[in-house]
């Protein structure tokens, strides 16, 4: 298993699990990133943080430390 912050630009992955402390996990899940949803990694900022993803039809920016808590499968 890998995490969302390690996915290359243009790749589509499926969320397997969201981990982390309760507040962070809840915040990520409130943004629509839940188990089984497909995520497209669109682009990274010049220094790699944040990254822009498309989830459930809308664009979302996440910091790398937030993306580390999203376990994905290809």
Which domains, ranges and CATH numbers included, belong to the chain? 2-73 (2.30.30.90)
Instruction: From 6, 19, 14, select the one nearest 73 (Cα to Cα).
Output: 14
Residue ranges of the chain with pLDDT lower than 70? none
Q: How far apart are CA 55 and CA 3, in angstroms?
A: 16
Q: What proportion of the chain, given as a percentage, has pLDDT over 90?
A: 92
- pLDDT digit string, tens, across residues 39-49: 999 999 988 78
pLDDT at residue number 35? 95
Model confidence, pTM: 0.90
pLDDT at residue number 51? 94
Q: How far apart are CA 26 and CA 21, in angstroms?
A: 8
């Amino acid at each position: 298993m890998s995490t969302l912050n390690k996915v290359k630009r243009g790749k589509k992955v499926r969320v397997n699990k969201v981990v982390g402390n309760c507040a962070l996990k809840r915040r990520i899940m409130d943004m629509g990133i839940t188990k089984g949803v497909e995520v497209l990694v669109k682009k990274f900022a010049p220094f790699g943080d944040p990254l822009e993803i498309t989830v459930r039809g809308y664009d979302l920016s996440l910091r790398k430390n937030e993306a580390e808590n999203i376990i994905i499968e290809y």
